[in-house]
Amino acid sequence: MTLLEVRDLTVSFNTADGVVQAVRGVSFGVDAGRTLGIVGESGSGKTVLTQTLLGLTPGADISGSARFDERDLLQLTEEEMRHIRGERISVIFQDPLTSLHPLYKVGWQISELIRAHDKSVSKKDAAERAVELLSRVGIPRAERRVNDYPHQFSGGMRQRAMIAMALALSPQMIIADEPTTALDATVQAQILDLLLRLQRESGTALIMITHDLGVVADIADEVLVMYAGRAAEKAPKREVFYTPHHPYTKGLLESIPSSSAAGDRLRPIAGQPPSLINLPSGCKFHPRCGYVMDRCLSEEPDLRQVGESGFHNSACWLPAGAAGLSEEAEELREEAVHEERGEAAAEVAEAVAADVPGVAVVGIEGEGAAE
């Protein structure tokens, strides 16, 4: 059952430097009990996207809709939103110190949260519930640790405390914004393990925002790849990893050092993400794309169905069949580029190839050329 259905969400900010187009027409759905992974480079709009759903982007220009359980989140009053936040949807941020108050005991903060949403709970019951929640997220000797202040907790413990708070009101959905980015690998593994298990137990929907493809490979069911405020690709996890269609997704996967090629040259993506105030024309990825064709310079592609499953969507002008890392797929892409790259795009392609050594650009020979 679709719990959250976001349609054409657009968010921009008016700043002194100009209009920041942080999110431009993003649509997706999340089902109960499922995990949606949202990946993208920093600044691609992941946080703005999800904060907007929770009414946490004051001053932003917002359009689109976000239906959650029969209601449009974007139309709620602040009062209504306060009830949704925490009770129905809760958030876990990257840096727990921003959400835990430094001057109050961890346990008190959890029990106050419970009482703020339900006045009928007694102080004593709320305090007991805080202990129970802390031990549920793996804080040893929770009955003693409830009396600690946040700074007495390690980074991993604070993140657990945040998860405990997120669970306190048994929400239907949890949004986790880079919850493990600041943590070490072994602690990250503990936290991911915990989130997954809690989700399985309670059937909560999870939106996991991260820039780490490893985290997505691990826990997502569906994946949304964001680039410059838009969805570049949206598909079930395996398709994103094994048969990517969008050159940005493919580029991300190829940039990661992997065990099979230790010591070999990596294949970076050329250039850098664009300014959201001054976006490129056409496909926003074109100044970095090794497959750039003429129409990419003027027309922005929308998400459309590609590949074979019926659930795989990509916003790219390359042929729908050209998904994957196989030679056939590459041939299809090359053919398309061959036919549709005129002079204008050829110039862009030259610039992409010149940007960093080792970048693969179809149709251009030399060190950077694709095989």
Partner 1 sequence: MPASTGPADTAPVSTGQPVALEGILEEDVLVRVEHVTKHFPVRAGGLIRRTVGQVQAVDDVSLVIPRGKTLGLVGETGSGKSTLARCVAGLVPVTSGRVIFDGRDVTNLSRRAMRPVRRDVQMIFQDPYSSLNPRRRVGAIIGDPFAIHRTATGGERKRRIQELMERVGLNPEHYNRFPAEFSGGQRQRIGVARALALRPKLIICDEPVSALDVSIQAQVLNLLADLQQDYGLTYLFIAHDLEVVRHVSDSVAVMYLGRIGELGPRDDVYDTPRHPYTAALLSAAPAADPDTAAARQRIILTGDVPSPIDPPSGCRFHPRCPKARPLCSEQEPQLEPRLGDAPTHVAACHFPVEAGEDLAAAAPARSEVS
Ligand X SMILES: Nc1ncnc2c1ncn2[C@@H]1O[C@H](COP(=O)(O)OP(=O)(O)O)[C@@H](O)[C@H]1O
Out of 166, 176, 205, 276, the only residue in the binding site for ligand X (CB under 6 A) is: 276
Q: In this structure, what is the dihedral angle of CA atoms 175, 177, 178, 183, given to the nearest 10 degrees?
A: -80
Residue 42, interface with ligand X (CB under 6 A)?
Answer: yes
- Residue with smallest beta-carbon separation from ligand X: 47
By the rule CB under 6 A, 292 interacts with ligand SF4:
yes
Site size toward partner 1, by CB under 8 A: 55
Q: Give the distance between the most distant pair of CA atoms in the chain.
A: 74
22 lies in the binding site for ligand SF4 (CB under 6 A):
no
* Amino acid identity, position 174: I
22 touches which of ligand X, Mg ion, partner 1, none (CB within 5 to 8 A by kind)?
ligand X
What values do phi and psi take at 6, rounded to 5?
A: -100, 130
Nearest to 34 by CA among 189, 176, 222: 222
Select from 48, 74, 224, 289 the one that contacts ligand SF4 (CB under 6 A): 289
Helix (H, G, I), strand (E, B) or coil at 92: strand
Pairing label, strands 173-177, 205-210: parallel
Rule CB under 6 A: choose which of 20, 215, 296, 297 binds ligand X: 20
Query: In this chain, which stretch among 44-52, 71-79, 212-220, 260-268 interacts with ligand X, using CB under 6 A?
Result: 44-52
Site residues for Mg ion per CB under 5 A? 47
Closest CA to 106 of 176, 172, 154, 54: 154
Q: Which stretch binds ligand X (CB under 6 A): 35-43, 118-126, 141-149, 180-188?
A: 35-43
Q: Does 45 bind ligand X (CB under 6 A)?
A: yes
What is residue 34's three-state secondary structure? coil
DSSP 49-90: HHHHHTT--TT-EEEEEEEETTEEGGG--HHHHHHHHHHTEE
Q: Which of 6, 30, 40, 269 binds ligand X (CB under 6 A)?
A: 40
Out of partner 1, ligand SF4, Mg ion, none, what residue 247 binds, judged by CB under 5 to 8 A for its kind, is ligand SF4
Comparing CB distances to ligand SF4, the nearer of 142 and 252 is 252
Question: Do the Cβ atoms of 56 and 73 come closer than 8 Å?
Answer: no
Report the relative pairing of strands 304-305 and 313-314 from DSSP bridges: antiparallel
For ligand X, the closer CB: 41 or 148:
41
Closest CB to ligand SF4 among residues 237, 250: 250
Q: How far apart are CA 278 and CA 296, in angstroms?
A: 17
| By the rule CB under 8 A, 279 interacts with partner 1 | no
Q: Interface with ligand SF4 includes 283 (CB under 6 A)?
A: yes
* 231 scored as a contact of ligand SF4 (CB under 6 A): no
47 contact choice in partner 1, Mg ion, ligand SF4, none (CB below 5 to 8 Å, kind-dependent) = Mg ion
Q: How far apart are CA 371 and CA 365, in angstroms?
A: 9
Q: Name residue, tokens 């998400």.
A: 303
Question: Where along the sequence are the contacts to ligand X (CB under 6 A)?
Answer: 13, 15, 20, 22, 40, 42-48, 276
